[in-house]
Amino acid sequence: MTNLRIPGPTPCPPEVLSAMGRQMMNHRGGEFMKTVLSVTEKLKRMFQTDNDVFLLTGSGTGGLEAAVVNSFSPGDKVLSVSIGVFGDRLANIAKTFGADVTVLKSEWGKPADPQAIKASLDNDPSIKAVMVTHNETSTGVTNDLETIAKTVKPYNKLLLVDAISSIGSINLPVDDWGIDVMVTGSQKSWMVPPGLAMVAISEKGWQANANAKMPRFYWDFARAKKSLANGGQTPWTPAVSVILALDVALDMMLSEGLENIIARHIKLGRMTREGVKALGLKLFADEAYASNTVTAVLGSDGLDAKALNKIMREEYDIVLSGGQMELEGKIFRIGHLGWVNEREVEDVLVALKTALPKAGFGGGN
């Protein structure tokens, strides 16, 4: 089987794929409604939250758009912390819908600086909200969200977090850290195919929602809340198969235990980083903040990162990711989140050893 080592979609366990292949049922019927309620409750446990949790049919980016339009009015001042492609995307969504966005950027490969966030908030008390990416898939960096959340807390701002590629693999206790709007996507830690965004909204998030004037219909959290309260429904026909699959995946995750899952990702992240360094490669990310779900590797010493990915795919049946936007051709990325074990990471490292020289590595550059 292909070793799909991209940062999502991740491979799915057979039990999950089997649920994906189930025959359709009435999305307004008792069995499905019970499943929606059950999935919602299990997600709350994985999110470590008592907040409202909703299933939205769409990609992670749809979930981000939902978070923005449910929280802000045009003209609202928002501090958008960006450390890569997905941080920029979040800022762009807010700008598109009319927010007055200040983007606080870090050099790519580096995390956000909590002190710089503090300085921005001190500098402009009219800022209403802080938006931040927990794990930046494009650079392989995990922000220190706990410290960022603690830094923001005294200012009483709304805290909106893109946790698409973190929560469920990397620790993110939503309530303890006071995250007001959190977004994730089915095809990441959750071991199911793409098609579903999952969001959690705090009481403060609901207060913002009540005043938020950005136009919303499909993504409206208030409609989602009303439908869920109506026995476990969704306002619109949902991605039935993905929800059935998520139900199965969540049982597997609860059986493994959140702490064990997080520990597995810590171990796999470390193993990947140690492995690529032992091959003489350089990490793109600041190692102190390197992600445990995706490792970005610099195309140093003659390495043609695009050629490498082609060789890995064609000769070893291992699928890696390239760089995005300005990092295209400059890095390659190894995904190690969701349904993944040491053997699969080991296979990547073994293949890299023979593939790297074929892709120019060691030729000097």
With CA atoms as reference, report the closest residue to 142 among 228, 98, 83.
83
Return the number of the residue (8 or 111) whose C-beta is nearest its own copies. Answer: 8
* CB-based contact 91:131 (threshold 8 Å): yes
Return the number of the residue (192 or 285) whose C-beta is nearest its own copies. Answer: 192
Phi, psi values for residue 226, rounded to 5°:
-60, -45
How many residues does the structure list for the chain?
365
CB of 13 to its own copies, least distance (A): 10
CB of 278 to its own copies, least distance (A): 26
CB of 220 to its own copies, least distance (A): 9
CB of 20 to its own copies, least distance (A): 5
Q: How far apart are the C-alpha atoms of 220 and 68, rounded to whole Å?
A: 11
* CB-based contact 90:97 (threshold 8 Å): no
Q: Burial-class residue 194 by CB neighbours within 10 Å (0-12, 13-18, 19+).
A: middle
Q: Peptide bond preceding 238: is omega within 30 degrees of 0, i.e. cis?
A: no
CB of 185 to its own copies, least distance (A): 7
- Which positions lie near its own copies, rule CB under 8 A? 1-2, 4, 6, 8-12, 17-18, 20-29, 57-62, 65, 92-93, 96-98, 185, 187, 193-195, 214-218, 235-242, 313, 319, 321
CB of 345 to its own copies, least distance (A): 17
| DSSP E strand stretches across 116-240 | 129-133, 135-136, 141-142, 158-162, 181-185, 196-201
Return the number of the residue (89 or 134) whose C-beta is nearest its own copies. Answer: 89
DSSP per residue, 56-78: EES-HHHHHHHHHHTT--TT-EE
Return the number of the residue (45 or 236) whose C-beta is nearest its own copies. Answer: 236
Encoded amino acid at 237, one letter: T
Phi, psi values for residue 12, rounded to 5°:
-120, 140
Return the number of the residue (155 or 218) whose C-beta is nearest its own copies. Answer: 218
CB of 162 to its own copies, least distance (A): 13
Residue with tokens 């930046």: 136
* CB-based contact 74:94 (threshold 8 Å): no
Q: How far apart are the C-alpha atoms of 265 and 259, rounded to whole Å?
A: 10
Contacts of 210 (CB under 8 A, 6+ apart): none
Return the number of the residue (60 or 111) whose C-beta is nearest its own copies. Answer: 60
* CB-based contact 219:56 (threshold 8 Å): yes
With CA atoms as reference, report the closest residue to 26 among 244, 251, 246, 197.
244
CB of 338 to its own copies, least distance (A): 10
Return the number of the residue (149 or 296) whose C-beta is nearest its own copies. Answer: 296
Return the number of the residue (131 or 239) whose C-beta is nearest its own copies. Answer: 239
